[in-house]
């Protein structure tokens, strides 16, 4: 295989396309991906529409233009929806009944990277098992079909429809007045969040709303709590009710309480699960294999059906459809909604979270404490050269305990404490989460597993 083909193979990940700008992901490659995508989508007697959006990275416009030309060469009409958040591409495809969508973004990755997220009709994901690698293979082989008539292109402003859709998840008249800071991280939320402000009774301190794909202030990844230092300082210094931190493409959001503590993914899942079980009693609620066991307890206690899944949006969206689940969540801050075409949205999650806090007349810190039942560690990364060997050591050391391999290796001890270790698909890294009934037991488990991971 040639170096060029190796490069194309490397940029196709499990769920999307990511590569270094100018060397791995070029305009030429984006054009080929666009045409292969158009060729791959189900054919129709009419010329259906593919929506194309982009983030604020310096080269996103060039990549979007190239991909659009590829899509048009395949015979599809295009809606160019401009600079948007990633969750908006899913909304547009689902809401308007389009054939598919493409978003030019590398999410929270540094500015030297860019990428492409693809979906098909109904906002269904396109991942490694659902067509992404077929598109990759067509690009590598250069196997394209060019339509007799090139597709047309039109610009489409979808922002107002998106804002009204987001607000449909709450009773706007019952939103309470709040003073909050919002950190957009120079990402796409900086363009979209101001559009919702006229509709909500919140006094907003805007932080890093200037679109800048070089991310001059901090990495736009709220999962790394160290990136929230500035937001936390503004909240504390101004005695605000809390804040919201978005990632680079705006599809993930974390709430921060008035004390400067983050509401982690498990807390948000619990909060939103309860909200949707109140609205849809007896429903299934999805959560990934890394979240606290208290989610299962909460869902069962509310008469719902807890469904534990693998990590990854393609798995969760598939199972949500099968279970007709109104809500699903991941530890990493992706929150999925049936009435959002089973897609995730940081903005919808944040709006609902602040809405619930207002309805209950509770501080965000009180909500955080309410749903933090067991001591736990956040997902922690360890650099490991031989990942399978490390997993084997852990299996052997905990041979007498319960194992499952739905997602990596989850070990449940007789005490009820548990931990999960999983391998990164793209890095020499093992990721560890752990939870126990007491802090002392948690510390003991983490110390033991850490030693096994680091043993060579």
Number of other residues whose CB lies within 10 A of the CB of residue 148: 5
Active site residue 60: no
Q: Residue count of the chain, please give it.
A: 456
The beta-carbon contacts of 437-444 under 8 Å, at least 24 apart in sequence, are 437/374, 437/375, 438/375, 439/375, 441/415, 441/417, 442/375, 442/376, 442/377, 442/417
Provide the β-strand partners of residue 262: 256
Active-site residue (options: 107, 266, 294, 345): 107
Q: Which distant-in-sequence residues (6+ apart) come within 8 Å of 324 by Cβ?
A: 283, 284, 338
Q: Which distant-in-sequence residues (6+ apart) come within 8 Å of 202 by Cβ?
A: 175, 177, 178, 179, 180, 354
CA-CA distance, 95 to 91, in Å (whole number)? 6
- Residue 49 corresponds to which tokens in the numbers above? 């529409």
Q: What are phi and psi of 82, to 5 degrees?
A: 75, -150
CB 278 within 8 A of CB 319: no
Dihedral over Cα of 224, 132, 44, 146: its sign: positive
Q: Would you name the residues annotated as active-site residues? A: 107
């Amino acid at each position: 295989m040639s170096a060029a083909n190796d490069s194309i193979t490397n940029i196709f990940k499990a769920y999307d396309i990511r590569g270094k700008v100018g060397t791995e992901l070029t305009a030429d490659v984006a054009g080929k991906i666009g045409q292969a995508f158009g060729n791959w989508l189900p054919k129709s007697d009419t010329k259906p529409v593919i929506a194309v959006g982009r983030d604020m990275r310096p080269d996103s416009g060039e990549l979007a233009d190239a991909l659009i030309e590829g899509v048009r060469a395949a015979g599809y009409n295009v809606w160019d929806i401009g600079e948007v958040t990633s969750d908006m591409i899913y909304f547009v495809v689902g809401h308007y009944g389009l054939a598919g969508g493409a978003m030019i973004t590398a999410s929270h990755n540094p500015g030297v990277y860019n990428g492409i997220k693809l979906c098909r009709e109904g906002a269904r994901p396109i991942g490694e098992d659902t067509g992404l690698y077929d598109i990759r293979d067509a690009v590598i082989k250069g196997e394209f079909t060019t339509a007799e008539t090139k597709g047309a292109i039109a610009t489409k402003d979808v922002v107002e429809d998106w804002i009204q859709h987001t607000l449909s998840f709450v009773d706007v008249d019952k939103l309470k007045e709040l003073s909050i800071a919002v950190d957009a991280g120079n990402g796409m939320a900086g363009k979209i969040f101001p559009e919702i402000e006229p509709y909500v009774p919140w006094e907003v301190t805007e932080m890093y709303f200037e679109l800048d794909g070089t991310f001059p202030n901090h990495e736009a990844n709220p999962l790394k709590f160290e990136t929230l230092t500035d937001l936390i300082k503004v909240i504390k210094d101004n005695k605000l009710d809390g804040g919201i931190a978005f990632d680079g493409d705006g599809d993930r959001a974390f709430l921060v309480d008035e004390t400067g503590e983050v509401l982690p993914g498990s807390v948000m899942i619990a909060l939103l699960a309860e909200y949707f079980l109140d609205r849809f009693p007896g429903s299934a609620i999805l959560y990934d294999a890394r979240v606290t066991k208290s989610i299962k307890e909460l869902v069962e206690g509310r008469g719902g059906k807890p469904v534990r899944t693998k990590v990854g949006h393609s798995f969760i969206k598939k199972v949500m459809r099968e279970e007709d689940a109104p809500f699903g969540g991941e530890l990493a801050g992706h929150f999925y909604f049936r009435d959002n075409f089973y897609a995730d949205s940081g903005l919808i999650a944040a709006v609902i979270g602040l809405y619930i806090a207002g309805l209950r007349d509770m501080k965000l810190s009180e909500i955080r404490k309410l749903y933090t039942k067991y001591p736990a560690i956040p997902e922690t990364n360890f650099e490991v050269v031989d990942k399978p060997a490390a997993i084997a050591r852990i299996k052997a050391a905990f041979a007498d305990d319960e194992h499952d391999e739905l997602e990596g290796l989850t070990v449940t001890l007789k005490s009820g404490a548990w931990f999960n270790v999983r391998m990164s698909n793209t890095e020499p890294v093992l990721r560890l989460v752990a939870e126990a009934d007491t802090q002392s037991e948690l510390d003991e488990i983490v110390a033991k597993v850490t030693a096994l991971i680091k043993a060579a």
